[in-house]
Chains A and B, each alone.
Chain A
Amino acid sequence: MEKRVTFDNRVLPYLLLAPQIFITLVFFFWPSGQAIWQSVLIEDAFGGNSRFVWFDNFANLFQDSAYYASARLTLVFSALVASVGLAVSLLLAVMADRVIRGATVYKTFLVWPYAVAPAVAGVLWGFLFNPSVGIVAWLLQSIGIEFNYVINGNQALLLVVIAAVWNQVSYNFLFFLAGLQSIPKSLIEAAAIDGAGPGRRFWDIIFPLLSPTGFFLLVINILYAFFGTFGVVDALTKGGPGQATSILVYKVYNDGFRGQDLGGSSAQSVILMMVVILLTIVQFRFIERRVHY
């Protein structure tokens, strides 16, 4: 889409674009270029000298069992975050769409977790499940379940998933609710007249019509699980115990910033960059289709 009527000026548009382009170049393109460049270098342990090594850093990465473990963990983690998050918020949205009385009040009470910082969300859930003072950990203990996320890797992962989903539910809920409200009531009524009950109407009419929203949210949730959950992990488990919750983005940070392994961290960055590019393309291609449905 283009404007028919425009202004003529040779200099002004460049001046207007300058601040944005400047920041983009300095803080996005330059560091990204450096990440790509460093990913093919090895720096010796004392800094200073670096050597061009082609794809050695990548080769090392693909031979590293810790990297595989982290990649596998990230896939499991994002599958859990996306599926649990979408299922819970779809259920709540369908219910909120059904009720007439109180719908706005419910919405108000459901949107605010979005405003809580992921790191703070991690702290809140860590408190509930804290082995010594957490009320939920205490309840679990009193029914005979030993819950200690500080030493049990699977429990730590479970807790990170819960906190991450909690933080993202309102976002998914709002999009599902908007999707549900845009489905024409006449379709539902026609199905009801033909004798379809609420369950049948949901699976045969509402669910297919909602699938574009669902697909869009799936991509967003995977992106969120990959990159947006850094704060949850750092505040809650610091990637531990062991490497049990060290998802890829946390590993980039840990290896590069703590471990000072620039080449390895940069190679990981480049791989993650490719993941984002892929997901963004999927998202935008899909959005073009969404306009027509």
Chain B
Amino acid sequence: MVENRPFVTILSHVIIILGLVVIAFPVWMTFVASTHDQTTMLRAPVPLLPGPYLIENYGQVLTEGFGRGFGGAPIWVTLMNSLVMALGVALGKIAISIISAFAIVYFRFPGRMYFFWAIFVTLMLPVEVRIVPTYGVVAHLGMIDSYAGLIVPLIASATATFLFRQFFLSVPDELTEAARVDGASPMRFFWDILLPMSRTTIAALFVIQFIYGWNQYLWPLLITTKESFYTVVMAVSRQANAVDATPSWNLLMAMAMLAMLPPVLVVVFMQRLFVRGLVETEK
């Protein structure tokens, strides 16, 4: 800091810590609720400190779901679906975007700018504005209730393509020249030089897209009808809407914790890649 003003510094700390407490409070209460039994959670006011039922609650939602005829699928099934979807979306986006960017940057061919703009325009067509017709197309192709239906329509990505394009443009031309002099084919250059150089960009994108894929909600809501294809986020939301009928707040909150945990861990442990990916995809 420019000058030493202990009061202002302490005030800054106080404000941030206050902010952190407010931000963390919902998650703390969720955790607390997931460690009590059902009757405790129905008595107002609910406890503020964790109880002794942690293992039982998580054990039940993971293996049995809500049980007693409510919310059939055990949570581990929905967690697996979310994992498949998140990995599929992240890897799919990276794969098709990196090769499109390679084509656009390293080749001159008729129609190049049209393709570039076609990819750009997808930015302006989020799923939310074309809900019904997109559902129609997917239904038409027989992709309802399938992993392909969950993943493939989401993997076109203008932002990822632009990010790779930006990165490729910063790669020195001398490398390309050297590769050409040595007689390397374009694909050889791609595999042996470009791909290894893009490692950090790929990792940063992976973190962002994994979270994006895991947290998808509207899309799986539209195209899954069987419980065996529900994602965990969907399962939590559906159960939340039924919770007044079966007031198992402890189990619902255990499900919510499990739905949050994987993406939150990814963000916390890969924070530098995450921040990098976030800032760069917006450029």
Contacts and interface: CB of A to CB of B under 8 A. Distances in A.
Contact of B278 (A120, A174, A253, A277): A174
Contacts of B240: 122-123, 126, 235
Contacts, number: 311
A57 to B, nearest CB: 13
Interface string A100-135: 101000111111111111111111111110001111
A239 to B, nearest CB: 12
Mostly helix, strand, loop or mixed at chain A's interface?
helix
B278 A16 contact: no
A135 B107 CA distance: 61
B237 A234 contact: yes
Contacts of A124: 26-27, 29-30, 256
Contacts of B108: 6
Residue among A9, A17, A88, A230 having the largest count of chain B Cβ atoms under 10 Å: A17
B279 to A, nearest CB: 6
B16 A95 contact: yes
A144 B173 CA distance: 70
Interface of B: 1-3, 5, 8-9, 12-13, 15-16, 19-20, 23-27, 29-30, 33, 41-42, 44-46, 48, 95-97, 99-100, 102-109, 112, 115, 118-119, 121-126, 128-138, 141, 152-153, 155-156, 161, 168-169, 173, 176-177, 180, 186-187, 189, 211, 214-215, 217-218, 221-222, 233-234, 236-237, 240-241, 244, 247, 249, 252-253, 256, 259-260, 263-264, 266-268, 271, 274-275, 278-279, 282-283
Interface of A: 1, 3-10, 12-14, 16-17, 19-21, 23-32, 34-35, 38, 88, 91-92, 95-96, 98-100, 102, 106-128, 132-135, 138-139, 166, 169, 171, 174-175, 178, 185, 188-189, 192, 198, 201, 216, 220, 227, 230-231, 234-235, 238, 249, 252-253, 256-257, 262, 265-266, 269, 272-273, 276-277, 280, 287
